[in-house]
Amino acid sequence: KSNAAYVAFKEAERLAKEHGSLMPPKIILNAPTKLMKREGYGAGYAYDHDQPEAFSGQDYWPEGLGRHELYKPVERGFERELRRRLEFWATQRRERSGGD
């Protein structure tokens, strides 16, 4: 048992208060009109289930905010497994983005 979810929620709340309402990246917005398609909405979206390990590694954080690790599970109980999974996905994301 830990308070990791509570701490993550409070950090998300702080970010929302600090940055206000930010647009999600165009990559995850649908494009029901020709104008939206021309503006790049949905362009480059990779469907997770069609990707290796069913994970595209795409970044869905608002532009200008950058990726934040809000949930930091502790190294005990079931959270230990959650931590391993988050580390696995972080590694996949780095490899797919060309990072270290």
pTM, rounded to two decimals: 0.77
Query: What are the tokens at 54?
Result: 């069913």
H, E, C per residue of the chain: CCCHHHHHHHHHHHHHHHHCCCCCCHHHCCCCCHHHHHCCCCCCCCCHHHCHHHCCCCCCCCCCCCCCCCCCCCCCHHHHHHHHHHHHHHHHHHHHHCCC
What is the average pLDDT value for the chain, to the nearest integer? 93
pLDDT tens track for 64-75: 898 999 999 999
Domain ranges of the chain: 4-97
CATH code of the domain occupying 4-97: 1.10.3710
